[in-house]
Structure 1
Amino acid sequence: MSDADGTWVSLFSGGKDSSWALYQALEEGLEVSRLVTVHPAGDSYMYHVPATDLAALAAESIGIPLVDVEPDDFEAAEAADSGVQGDDELEPLEAALTDLGDELEGGIAGVTAGAVESEYQTSRIRGMCDRLGCELFAPLWQEAPRELADEMLEAGFEIAIIQVAAAGLDESWLGRTLDHEAIADLEALHEEYGVHILGEGGEFETFVVDGPHMDRRIDLEYETEWDGTRGRVRITDAQLE
């Protein structure tokens, strides 16, 4: 896909979208040498938030080294000035990728991202890639949600729902597997409440416990936390099978 020197870096949370972008990059023959996980301190407009600490277990199963980015790690770092209000969240990631580009032989050829419909997210990542002088691979961008969901399942992804925050999604969805039956239910909820089939905008969040790019399935033990309108699973144990 690219004649550029260097290897690829995959923005990775362990959720379905970033996992699908990584899988598609590997299927395209792109050499992905690092996974990069940002751990937001709280709610985030830019990043997948829940259970990012599980990304290390997923990376071990995938067999690609993981780089963790904690916002506080780069408070004193001199990241490129985006010139756009609201890009503060991007600066720790950009600083980390700048450092990583210096470490990797040939630098960074490109970055994979799992953005589906968020112009806010995609425009900022694209701008960052422009400043870093690398390509952006975003295979989910503006694709039909139902087709993407079906492709993930047909490829063999096993996807767990770990957080919900939308009308129509009750406590029974916590820990539920995103299978064909769940997708059909989400389509009905889309008609009734406007719920996005892929949970775009944080309506629900996921974690991929198994897939064709993973050597070992991840077994999760958890408890559910529900406040009456939204909830999440609290992981009590996670291990590779």
Structure 2
Amino acid sequence: MKFVALLSGGKDSVYSTLLSVRHGHELVCCAHLSPSPTADLEGESYMYQTAGSDAVRVQVEGCMGLPFHTAEIRGGSVDTSLVYDGSSGAAAAGGAEGGHDEVEDLHGLLSDVLGRHPEVEAVSSGAILSTYQRTRIEDVCARLGLTSLSYMWRMSDQRRVLDSVLDDGGIDAVLVRTACPPGLTPRRHLGSR
């Protein structure tokens, strides 16, 4: 199947893209939801990783040489229930809290991708353990007639995931952000491979 890769800027989404290609799927383009310029880059949404967002365009256009589609995260975590049903209209209309759900930003981005690349049939993501993320991606895919590719689902051992990425040979991993004090120190570790 021809697919679009959802990239966050982290290792999981990039490795999931590589696994999708290795399973015989054809990568057509990449997509990314970025935080608004006024958003707290240290704060994570329920749905999206925002740290490293500024590096995604370079990953895609500079390293992969593929079309890149991006949109801004405008919504918030309106519907935080485990099971998400965007087809009900409540999340898009704002639910009880007002505003629209951030999942609908993904729907809008993928709708735009389909308009530009109608051959796309599937979406890859780096969701590993978050049922919250996986079910929302699957909901958006179902509404758009797409298949969700999640080859890393339930790869719970983060050390194994990291070892797989580093030992794979298909990825040149570069550390672009640290977020685990007192572990890695930015001056010493950023930019290291």
Q: TM-score, normalised by structure 2?
A: 0.74
1:148-187 map, 5 Å = 148-156=161-169, 157=171, 158-160=173-175, 162-165=177-180, 169-170=181-182, 172-174=184-186
Deviations 1:135-156 (A, max 9, x none): 0111111124232222111113
1:1-241 map, 5 Å = 2=1, 7-41=2-36, 42=39, 43=43, 44-59=45-60, 60-72=62-74, 83=90, 88-106=101-119, 108-145=120-157, 146-156=159-169, 157=171, 158-160=173-175, 162-165=177-180, 169-170=181-182, 172-174=184-186, 220=191
Distance 1:55 1:23, change over 3 A: same
Say if 2:52 and 2:176, in contact at 8 Å, map to a contact too: no
Structure 2: how far apart are the matches of 1:27 and 1:49? 27
Say if 1:161 and 1:175, in contact at 8 Å, map to a contact too: no
- Give, in angstroms, the shift of residue 103 of structure 1: 2.3
Q: Which 5+ residue runs of structure 1 have no aligned equivalent?
A: 73-78, 178-218, 222-241
Q: Which runs of 4+ in 1 moved over 3 A?
A: 79-87, 171-177
Distance 1:162 1:133, change over 3 A: same
Say if 1:8 and 1:33, in contact at 8 Å, map to a contact too: yes
- Give, in angstroms, the shift of residue 49 of structure 1: 0.7
Give % identity: 26
Deviations 1:50-109 (A, max 9, x none): 13121111112112111111135xxxxxx9656456971111221121122122133x30
Q: Quick check: which has more Rg, 1 or 2?
A: 1
SS at match of 2:152: coil
Q: Which 5+ residue runs of structure 2 have no aligned equivalent?
A: 75-85
What is the number of equivalent residue pairs in this alignment? 166
Structure 2: how far apart are the matches of 1:22 and 1:89? 23
SS at match of 1:21: helix
Say if 2:30 and 2:66, in contact at 8 Å, map to a contact too: yes
Distance 1:113 1:176, change over 3 A: farther
- Give, in angstroms, the shift of residue 16 of structure 1: 0.2
Distance 1:123 1:173, change over 3 A: farther
Task: Give 1 or 2: higher strand fraction.
Answer: 1
SS at match of 1:53: helix
Say if 1:11 and 1:35, in contact at 8 Å, map to a contact too: yes
Deviations 1:189-216 (A, max 9, x none): xxxxxxxxxxxxxxxxxxxxxxxxxxxx
**RMSD of aligned residue pairs (Cα, Å):** 2.8
Say if 1:37 and 1:69, in contact at 8 Å, map to a contact too: yes
